[in-house]
Structures are given as structure tokens and as C-alpha cells.
């Protein structure tokens, strides 16, 4: 999204009511972008793994809204919304998903593995949980350099079973580093339900074992996520050490777009669809006295324009040249003449 719409500039001056509408726009933009991505995937214009965050948009929106330039965020595979919230160019993001030269990784890697470090977005690997120690290292740098930034590490309840998550949280706790751990508990690790992953109900319970606070919040309630994130990040900037926010939510799509998710109960899906974060938030805005029908139409038109422009940019962008496959491995290539001629 354009720089002028990022939180720090807009948020500082806008009234609370205006800011609440801005949050709505962001959540709708993420939904619109991801819906288009799913459609492009069905049309074979986006290939490879596509992991929809549909149903979980309130989390990326609410967590990222209080962040500032210079903060470090490591999203996981379902957190496309983080990229948009951090101001990554939607065109480059779409080009990334299409494997184009103008994409974040210049065609080198798929989906969300290409980060944008200028905007503090770190590209993850597929080894879920490996980015948590990295976020801890970023926080260590902020501490060493006396910078007032924080690191935010997104992960799922499935990822929470990895040893890296334990190692990262333990060290963050020992050193009281400014790391916000954000667990998106959508109840499934691919097909494996929560009760086969852990013997407890709340991932947040584990925070106590690392010496910091764990919170649970409805991940489908945008305002609840945002207000909690704002409080927590403020404490962390003041030197309060790490905290864990567990957002209870649900994946509307399968694990990836290839997955019909037939292992899930239909009633369960229905229940969670009725907790869709967007209509829930629209209901709130209506209670606030807004003309939600008019606002929805306006916002839909705006997000459609942004997404359409991104798609056009990406489709018009060239693919990388084949020989670029050997570029970007090292800061500088090995000394010339050190390769055998034959």
C-alpha cells in the first residue's frame, strides 16, 4: 500500500474513528489480494504452493498496525497480509508469486520466501519455526545497538511443536529481548488437529515456562487483536521483554490451495465461517454509526484497484533470464578464472 497510508504517519494524526476505518481497509485489502491469488492459482497463472490466510486477516492487520518503520517481522507461509501491512509494493508481491523478475526474490523462490528487508519483512523458509531464532537475533541487534525497535515472529500452533520455537522463546526470555511471538492457532497443522499436536489447549500457557507473559485473544476480532498488540508492543519498546500473543482462529481454505481439507468437519467450518473477521468488524463499525454499506462499496472499489494494478504489473513483468539461476548466491562471484575451462 502507498507509504502515506502506513500506520505511523496516518495513525499519528488520524482520529480514532478514521483509524478504525483504516484498519478495515487493510483487512479488506488482504482479503481481496488473497482471493485474487487463489483465483490466479486456479487459472494456473500462479503456480507452486499457495497458502491462503483467508479467515485470519484480522491477525496480520491487528498485530502489524502498531508496528513502526525499522521493526523486524518474520511472517510465515500464511501471512501474506504482513507484507501488505508493512508497505511492500503489491505489484512486486504479486510478481513474486508469479516467479517474475520484478518479484521480491527475482524469481528465485516461491510465495512468501522472498522478504523485503527494507521494510523489515524477513522471508521465511519452509522449515516452519526456523525463523523464530532469526527474529530473536534481530532483537539482539536492537538491544546491542540501543535501538527502540522490536522483532515480531509469526508462527502457527503446528509450528509450535518445533524445537526451534522452544530454543528461541527460551533465549528471548533469558535475555528479556524485545520479541513479540505471535501464534496463529488455526487448529490444524495441515490435516493434523490440535488434540494430536499438543496435550494442552493454549499455546500461550507455554510462555510462563520461559519467564514471560502469554495472552490468548480471538484472532477473528480485529479490535481485540489490535488493542492487545498496541499495549504489548508499547511495553516491549519500554524494555518490557518478550511476550506471546496466541490468536485463536481458523483456516477457511485447506492447508494449501491443492488441499480440499476433507478431514475437517463441515459443521466446524460453518461455525468458524460465521465468525469471519470481516463481517464481525463491519458489525462493529455499524454499531459505531457508520454507513457500512457505503463504506464497503468504497473500500471494495479501492482494494480492487490496488489488486488489479498489482496483477497488471506482475503479468507485464518479464521472467528472469535462465542464467540468473546462478546469481545472488554470493556477495561477489568467485575470482574469475578459477573455473576450469572445459
Partner 1 sequence: MRGAAMEITYIQAINQALHEEMSRDENVFVMGEDVGELGGAFKATEGLLAAFGEERVIDTPIAESLIVGAGVGAAVLGMRPVVEMQFADFISCAFDQIVNMAATLRYRHGGRASCPMVIRAPSGAGVHGALFHSQNPEAWFTRVPGLKVVAPATVYDAKGLLKAAIRDDDPVIYFEHKRLYRSLKDDIPEGDFTVPIGVAELRQEGEELSIITYGGTLNQCLDAARIVAKEDGLSVEVLDLRTLLPLDREAVLKTARKTGKVLVVHEDRLTGGFGGEIAALIAEHAFEDLDAPVRRLAALDTHTAFSPPLEEYILPNTNKIVDAIRSLAAY
Quote the least distance from Cβ 75 to partner 1, whole Å: 14
Rg (CA), the chain: 20
* 126 touches 77 (CB < 8 A): yes
CB of 313 to partner 1, least distance (A): 16
| Residue at grid coordinates 525499522 | 70
Per CB under 8 A, the segment of 105-113, 244-252, 259-267, 290-298 that binds partner 1 is 105-113
- Looking up cell 488434540, which residue turns up? 195
Least Cβ distance, residue 337 to partner 1 (angstroms): 7
Segment near partner 1 (CB under 8 A), from 124-132, 186-194, 218-226, 307-315?
Answer: 124-132
Binding of residue 106 to partner 1 (CB under 8 A): yes
The distance of Cα 326 from the centroid of its chain, to the nearest Å, equals 29
Q: Which of 1, 93, 132, 236 binds partner 1 (CB under 8 A)?
A: 132
Residue 89 binding partner 1, by CB under 8 A? no
Residues 319-338 that bind partner 1 (CB under 8 A): 327-332, 334-335, 337-338
For the CB of residue 135, give the shortest distance to partner 1 in the complex, in Å: 6
Residues 15 and 99 sit within 8 Å (Cβ to Cβ): no
Of 73, 173, 89, 85, the residue nearest 123 (C-alpha):
73
At 236, give phi and psi (nearest 5°): -65, -40
* Cβ nearer to partner 1, comparing 136 with 278: 136
**What are the residues facing 72 on neighbouring strands?**
151
Helical H segments across the chain, by residue range: 7-13, 16-42, 57-64, 80-85, 90-97, 131-144, 163-175, 194-197, 222-237, 266-273, 277-287, 292-316
Which C-beta is closer to partner 1: that of 120 or that of 219? Answer: 120
Distance CA 279, CA 24 (A): 10
What distance in Å separates the CA atoms of residue 197 and residue 166, rounded to the nearest whole number? Answer: 15
Interface residue with partner 1, options 7, 31, 78, 108 (CB under 8 A)? 108
Q: What stretch of H or E contains 293?
A: helix 292-316
Complex with partner 1: residue 18 or 101, whichever CB lies closer: 101
Contact 63, 89 (CB under 8 A): no
| Footprint of partner 1 on 148-177 (CB under 8 A) | 151, 163-164, 167-168, 170-171, 174
Nearest to 254 by CA among 185, 166, 188: 188
Q: Is 314 a residue that touches partner 1 (CB under 8 A)?
A: no
Q: Is 2 in the site for partner 1 (CB under 8 A)?
A: no
Q: 220-246: buried (b, 16+ CB within 10 Å) or exposed (e) per residue? A: bbbeebbebbbebbeebbeebbbbbbb
| Out of 141, 234, 288, 321, the residue judged to bind partner 1 by CB under 8 A | 141
Beta carbon nearer to partner 1, 112 or 299: 112
Only one of the segments 139-147, 221-229, 248-256, 262-270 lies at the binding site for partner 1 (rule: CB under 8 A); that segment is 139-147
User: Residue 270, CB half-sphere, CA atoms under 13 Å: how many?
Assistant: 3
Could you give the string, one character per residue 191-220, with x where binding to partner 1 holds by CB under 8 A and - elsewhere?
------------------------------
Residue 140 binds to partner 1 (criterion: CB under 8 A):
yes
Count residues near partner 1 (CB under 8 A): 54
Contacts of 145 (CB under 8 A, 6+ apart): none
Q: Which residues bind partner 1 (CB under 8 A)?
A: 72, 103-109, 113-118, 122-123, 125-127, 130-141, 143-144, 151, 163-164, 167-168, 170-171, 174, 327-332, 334-335, 337-340, 342
Amino acid at each position: 500500500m502507498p507509504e502515506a497510508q502506513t500506520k505511523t504517519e496516518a495513525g499519528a494524526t488520524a482520529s480514532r474513528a478514521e483509524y478504525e476505518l483504516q484498519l478495515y481497509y487493510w483487512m479488506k485489502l488482504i482479503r481481496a489480494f488473497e482471493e485474487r491469488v487463489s483465483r490466479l492459482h486456479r487459472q494456473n497463472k500462479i503456480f507452486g504452493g499457495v497458502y491462503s490466510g483467508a479467515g485470519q486477516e484480522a491477525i496480520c492487520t491487528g498485530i502489524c498496525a502498531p508496528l513502526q518503520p525499522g521493526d523486524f517481522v518474520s511472517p510465515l507461509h500464511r501471512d501474506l497480509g504482513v507484507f501488505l501491512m508493512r508497505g511492500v509494493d503489491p505489484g512486486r508481491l504479486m510478481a513474486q508469486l508469479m516467479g517474475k523478475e520484478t518479484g521480491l526474490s527475482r524469481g528465485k523462490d516461491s510465495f512468501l520466501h522472498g522478504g523485503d528487508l527494507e521494510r523489515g519483512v524477513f522471508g521465511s523458509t519452509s522449515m516452519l519455526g526456523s525463523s523464530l531464532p532469526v527474529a530473536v537475533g534481530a532483537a539482539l541487534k536492537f538491544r546491542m545497538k540501543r535501538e527502540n525497535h522490536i522483532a515480531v515472529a509469526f508462527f502457527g500452533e503446528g509450528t509450535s511443536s518445533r524445537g526451534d520455537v522452544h530454543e528461541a522463546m527460551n533465549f528471548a526470555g533469558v535475555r528479556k529481548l524485545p520479541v513479540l511471538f505471535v501464534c496463529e492457532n488455526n487448529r490444524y497443522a495441515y490435516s493434523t488437529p490440535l488434540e494430536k499436536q499438543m496435550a494442552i489447549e493454549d499455546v500461550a500457557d507455554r510462555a510462563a515456562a520461559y519467564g514471560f507473559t502469554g495472552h490468548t485473544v480471538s484472532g477473528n476480532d480485529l479490535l481485540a487483536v489490535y488493542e492487545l498488540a498496541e499495549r504489548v508492543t508499547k511495553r516491549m519498546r519500554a524494555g518490557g521483554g518478550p511476550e506471546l500473543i496466541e490468536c485463536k482462529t481458523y483456516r477457511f481454505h485447506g492447508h494449501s490451495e491443492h488441499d480440499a481439507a476433507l478431514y475437517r468437519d463441515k459443521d466446524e467450518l460453518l461455525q468458524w465461517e460465521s465468525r469471519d473477521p470481516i463481517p464481525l468488524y463491519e458489525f462493529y463499525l455499524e454499531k459505531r454509526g457508520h454507513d457500512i454499506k457505503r463504506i464497503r462499496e468504497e473500500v471494495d472499489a479501492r482494494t480492487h484497484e490496488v489488486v488489479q494494478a498489482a496483477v497488471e504489473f506482475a503479468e507485464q513483468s518479464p521472467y528472469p533470464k535462465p542464467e540468473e539461476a546462478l546469481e545472488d548466491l554470493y556477495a561477489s562471484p568467485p575470482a574469475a578464472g578459477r573455473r576450469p575451462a572445459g
